[in-house]
Structure 1
Amino acid sequence: LGIISTIAGKGDYVILDIDSHASIYDGCKMGDAEIVAFRHNDVEALEKRLKRLPPEAGKLVVLEGVYSMLGDIAPLKEMIRVSKENGAMVLVDEAHSMGFIGEHGRGVAEAQGVLDDVDFIIGTFSKSVGTVGGFCVSNHPKFEILRLVCRPYVFTASLPPSVVATAATSIRKLMHGSNKRAHLWENSKKLHKGLRDLGFTLGTDEPQSAIIAVIMPDLERGAMMWEALLEEGLYVNLARPPATPAGMTLLRCSLCAEHSGEQVTEILARFDRAGKRAGIIG
């Protein structure tokens, strides 16, 4: 919330993906910058928006490594190139990729080899790190001034030492968790392929992250499918507008490295039974 509204002020522009997380939109609303949205993951649309803006204006492009609803990744390398060519700084939210994607689990920017080209990286401790809080890191020479001028930061109490210690320990484990990352990738591939083979419509053609989105025909049948899965003893998130892109209803599956291959097989069996009972698949 605080970083975007502090970096971009009156007379500046924040250029963001139209499918950005609600917290990013809230951060934009807190500031005085002009908001310019572009079509989801569309490099050409981003470039067109940037070229229409005044060359002398401050510009901040806000992207996400993994988008939380469909689980798809951003073409960061191309988007960062276009942003830099048009004089914009780049902020990447790695909340849904940290710990899983990249050689050391640092996210999509690491995986695509553009970590040093990103001006600001933000993330959360509430997902793969398993605690609470968040962070922003940057190599910008004046980054430390944000500690004094970012109002949500200044007027928020510090995290308890126990939480900080837990987060630090978890991050160190994630950095060396290549085996767990590899196992999670196998889980993601297996679930994605299994759901497609059963006849479900998914949010991505190929598995891109630990998030697998199962698209429902409409809200009513999505709720029926969600309840059928609950009766099977399986919980997934039912996501609906306005939280979802393009007004769609979906079931959002979030895998973790602790799921065994046998458990993923059982998840598929329960989806099969629930899907047939709810009339989603034949």
Structure 2
Amino acid sequence: MTDLFSKFDALIGEREALLSTGVRDPFSLVMESVKSPTVAMCNGKETILLGTYNYMGMTFDDDVLEAGKQALDNFGSGTTGSRVLNGTYAGHRECEEALKEFYRMDHAMVFSTGYQANLGIISTMAGKDDYIILDIDSHASIYDGCALGNAQIVAFRHNDVEALEKRLKRLPPEAGKLVVLEGVYSMLGDIAPLKEMVAVSKAAGAMVLVDEAHSMGFIGEHGRGVAEAAGVIDDVDFIIGTFSKSVGTVGGFCVSNHPKFEVLRLVCRPYVFTASLPPSVVATAATSIRKLMHAGNKRAHLWENSKRLHQGLRDLGFALGTPEAQSGIIAVIMPDMLKGAQMWQALLERGLYVNLARPPATPAGMTLLRCSLCAEHSSEQVTQILGIFEAAGKEVGIL
């Protein structure tokens, strides 16, 4: 009899070998309590959080918390239904209105997670006779959306405008085409050349979807993402985003100006067949989104933190994923998985939490320590972070 678990034997062996060295499991950390957007108790020790995607620090905002508490009292703990049945409350519509105001777009559709937003829009828009042209380093939710819709997948080399243009020119002119890009790529923290990519996509008659999960809130003059910063937001057909990063809660969304957009509420399976977000969640999201419209000072401080940490780590001698700070993510490249896990543990023992990222999630088989900064990190915390990295790097033998 076939053991359906046998396909995972190599991974099980790799994990057991890693843990046998005495390294703590880097993928099962428990936070006993969370004190603020930047500090938690981990293993009984006060720990600086540098791996949470809480870019704008909205998780403890007083107005956001109060909105959630009021919604919990007034509407209960959940909707127990999908959006097309009993699952649309006033708060869901209010959240969509906040998104439309934030992006200055005509339509907004809220999903239960950011993953489902990609899964739903991509699989609904592109079917088996259509082509999806995507960056080879695209997020798993993008690839899964392609698979669910059974579209023809055409991948191109990461951030390569010429490669994208060549792929588009080889496709049948009459075929339906959807180009899927990301504003910020979450592993290395690098941004896409959206100005050029949107131009060649439109020239080929393709629709364009941009996932701005890691750029909403702080990139662009008004925090609308890389598409805004590149001046192409009005040329993009769909923007996908999440509430689990800068917004500080959970959920996903798609905004668009397409006149036929509302029909998606009736045909998008991950929207139709999923219970809607709890009232407290959409209340916190709507409040947070409206506050992000006026968060210019927080955006400036986050950029200051990112540039300072990037420069500091580079000066210490660490290999980084980008030549300069391009986003709230800074990826520190490790020699291999063992060294990466040892470094992760050495940081944690000194009171600093980062993400350990490994293949196949990472590009080119790299092992990364992924740092994500927060607008609530103080200048003193950034200084402390650099000191911890230096001490841990010397202990592990990376510096």
| TM bracket, shorter-chain basis | over 0.9
- Aligned equivalent of 1:255, options 363, 373, 383: 373
The residue that corresponds to 2:123 in the other structure is 5
Q: Structure 2: how far apart are the matches of 1:33 and 1:210? A: 32
Q: Structure 2: how far apart are the matches of 1:156 and 1:125? A: 17
- Aligned equivalent of 1:264, options 356, 367, 382: 382
- Alignment of 1:137 onto 2:255: yes
- Aligned equivalent of 2:323, options 197, 200, 205: 205
Deviations along 1:224-254, whole A, 9 cap, x unmatched? 1111111111110000001100100000001
Deviations along 1:98-123, whole A, 9 cap, x unmatched? 00101111110011111100000000
Q: How many residues align?
A: 281
Q: Structure 2: how far apart are the matches of 1:23 and 1:8? A: 15
- Aligned equivalent of 2:211, options 93, 110, 119: 93
Structure 2: unaligned runs, 5 residues or longer = 1-118
- The 5-angstrom pairing of residues 195-234 of structure 1 reads 195-234=313-352
- Alignment of 1:31 onto 2:149: yes
Q: Structure 2: how far apart are the matches of 1:42 and 1:62? A: 13
Over the aligned positions, Cα root-mean-square deviation in angstroms equals 0.6
Q: Which has the higher contact order (CA 8 A, sep 6+)?
A: 2
The residue that corresponds to 1:57 in the other structure is 175
Q: Structure 1: how far apart are the matches of 2:331 and 2:287? A: 31
1:202 counterpart SS class: coil
Q: Structure 1: how far apart are the matches of 2:161 and 2:208? A: 14
2:353 counterpart SS class: coil
TM-score by length of 1: 0.99
Deviation at 1:158, TM superposition (A): 1.7
Q: Structure 2: how far apart are the matches of 1:95 and 1:72? A: 13
Deviations along 1:179-228, whole A, 9 cap, x unmatched? 00000000000000000000000000010000000001111111111111
Deviation at 1:162, TM superposition (A): 2.0
Q: Structure 1: how far apart are the matches of 2:282 and 2:222? A: 20
Deviations along 1:9-55, whole A, 9 cap, x unmatched? 12100000000111111111111210010000000000011001111
Moved over 4 A (4+): none
The residue that corresponds to 2:185 in the other structure is 67
Structure 1 window deviating more from structure 2 (115-124 vs 157-166): it is 157-166
What amino acid does structure 2 have at the position aligned with 1:130?
A: G
Deviations along 1:153-173, whole A, 9 cap, x unmatched? 011112222211111110011
Q: Structure 1: how far apart are the matches of 2:249 and 2:351? A: 26
Q: Structure 2: how far apart are the matches of 1:271 and 1:37? A: 36
2:190 counterpart SS class: coil
What amino acid does structure 2 have at the position aligned with 1:267?
A: I
The residue that corresponds to 2:281 in the other structure is 163
The residue that corresponds to 1:280 in the other structure is 398
Q: Structure 1: how far apart are the matches of 2:280 and 2:349? A: 38
What amino acid does structure 1 have at the position aligned with 2:167?
A: R
The residue that corresponds to 1:153 in the other structure is 271
The residue that corresponds to 2:308 in the other structure is 190
Q: Structure 2: how far apart are the matches of 1:226 and 1:157? A: 37
The residue that corresponds to 1:236 in the other structure is 354
Q: Structure 1: how far apart are the matches of 2:335 and 2:243? A: 34
Structure 1: unaligned runs, 5 residues or longer = none
